[in-house]
Chains A and B, each alone.
Chain A
């Protein structure tokens, strides 16, 4: 069975700082990878996803993530964060050919103006 690890539980940054949130998964086969964001009081929504092709994927609001197969990682990055990026971020994985979508424990991001 697959699993997802997000080692950063709470990250605090100042505006304009660069961001990298870690995500590692365990599964031996092909996977689809996702990052979701939950802004305070709102639904979870998709930031970006990886299926195949270019391992560097770009999402909404200036976020990007890089899939490194050898490291089983899919880290989320943003070069310059804004106060409005304050939210909880979840990494998720689904094995190819299976609908089981598994989430990590989430990382709470707080941006200080």
Chain B
């Protein structure tokens, strides 16, 4: 099936540990995104990538890092510098928002830091 796969669905980590969330797409999309969804705050953009080996900070990039070494993969690392990491994380991809193509979303990863 074509789509976006995020893994794992649930993730628990101890405070102070870095953790990496996986996002893979087989849609041959150029653009990929990471959002954080918190109740009452909608989707806030963490990082986005328009093309392989290039990415830009979104609105809340502090405490996060990404890489885009392959077109189909855009992993997100939540570092110990992120002050409030417990949240629902959504990955998305699109052919091109500039060309008005829609974004497709993964099922999300719920990260809980204890």
Number of CB contacts from chain A to chain B under 8 A: 67
B31 touches A99 (CB 8 A): yes
B58 touches A34 (CB 8 A): no
B98 touches A96 (CB 8 A): yes
Closest CB in chain A relative to B80 CB, distance in Å: 27
Chain A count of residues within 8 A CB distance of the other chain:
27
Closest residue of chain A to B56 (Cβ to Cβ) is: A100
B42 touches A43 (CB 8 A): no
B97 touches A94 (CB 8 A): yes
Listed in ascending order, the chain B residues whose CB lies under 8 Å from chain A are 31, 33, 35, 40-45, 48, 50, 56, 58-59, 90, 92, 94, 96-98, 100, 102-107
Listed in ascending order, the chain A residues whose CB lies under 8 Å from chain B are 1, 6, 9, 32, 34, 36, 43-46, 49-51, 90, 92, 94, 96-106
